[in-house]
Structure 1
Amino acid sequence: MSDHKGARLVLEALPSGTTLIADRGYDSNWFRIALVEKDITPCIPPTRSRKVPIAYDRALYRQRHKVENMFAKLKDWRRIATRYDRCAHTFFSAICIAASVAFYLN
């Protein structure tokens, strides 16, 4: 299953914003149209199989790796990666602590 099929389920829950940065898995015409209807500019590189490539902001897309790196750092914490906490508020607190430590160590 490709990513954009799962995106249909969460499209209504997207918070308001100006731009959505996503990878090639979310490149579909219906998803781009749905984002534009919600006044969100899609920054999604086209798949290699597209006959006519769609333009996107390459400089903005390059910033996406910072978010990916932060998730990778959070998963270094065993408690977060395995989700030991039963309560959502305790799990969120562990994420906040791990993010704070990762921020101050770098």
Structure 2
Amino acid sequence: MGRSRGGLTSKIHALVDADGRLIDVRLTGGQVHDSVEAESLLERLSDGAILLADKGYDSNAIRALATDRTAWANIPPRSNRKGSFVFSSWVYRQRNLVERFFNSIKQFRGTATRYDKDQRNFIAAVKIIACRLWCRP
């Protein structure tokens, strides 16, 4: 757990497939920027995939990693970004699968309130919940 203005917090960084099922997950402190864990998550990105991420992941390094994997990075540009990139708002609508995943794991009380203070226990609980979600029809 990390410190932020709100106290002790943590962030879950997830990579999900086109059906909203978890592929990889990382946990960081609340003060850590989103793009820090992007490199380790993008290692699991399949070739030719479409990367949908929010503005927090808009950086030249992440776009270069996606290009190396022959993936298309459909990330909305930050307001202070110089230069332009191809962005499709119609494709970006599918990013709600990530938000649905986070909503579904927060339906479990232990995960929503983070009763586990140990990082290993908490990430294990998230993975068990993800396995349960994979088994749903």
TM-score (norm 1): 0.69
* Aligned residue in 1 for 2:50: 19
**Closer, same or farther: CA 12–47 of 1 in aligned 2, 3 Å:** closer
Contact kept? 2:42, 2:65, Cα under 8 Å? no
Q: Deviation of residue 28 (structure 1)?
A: 0.9
Deviation of residue 48 (structure 1)?
Answer: 0.4
Distance in 2 (CA, whole Å) between partners of 1:66 and 1:45 is 17
Alpha-carbon shift at residue 11 of structure 1 (Å): 5.1
Letter in 2 for 1:73: S
User: Are 2:103 and 1:72 equivalent residues in the alignment?
Assistant: yes
* Distance of aligned partners of 1:78 and 1:26 in 2 relative to their CA distance in 1, 3 Å threshold: same
Aligned residues: 100
Unaligned runs of 5+ in 1: none
2:65 paired residue number: 34
Please state how far the C-alpha of 1:70 moved relative to its aligned partner.
2.9
Question: Identity percentage over the alignment?
Answer: 31
Contact 2:105 2:129 (8 Å CA) reproduced? no
* Bigger RCO (CA 8 Å, 6+ sep): 2
In 2, the alpha carbon distance for the partners of 1:7 and 1:91 equals: 18
Q: Judging changes above 3 Å, is the alpha-carbon distance between structure 1 residues 60 and 92 closer, same or farther for their aligned structure 2 residues?
A: same
Greater Rg by CA: 1
Q: Is the 8 A contact 1:80 1:95 kept in 2?
A: no
CA pair 34-66 structure 1, distance change in 2 beyond 3 A: closer
> What is the aligned-residue RMSD (CA, Å)?
3.1
When you count helix as a share of all residues, which structure comes out higher?
1
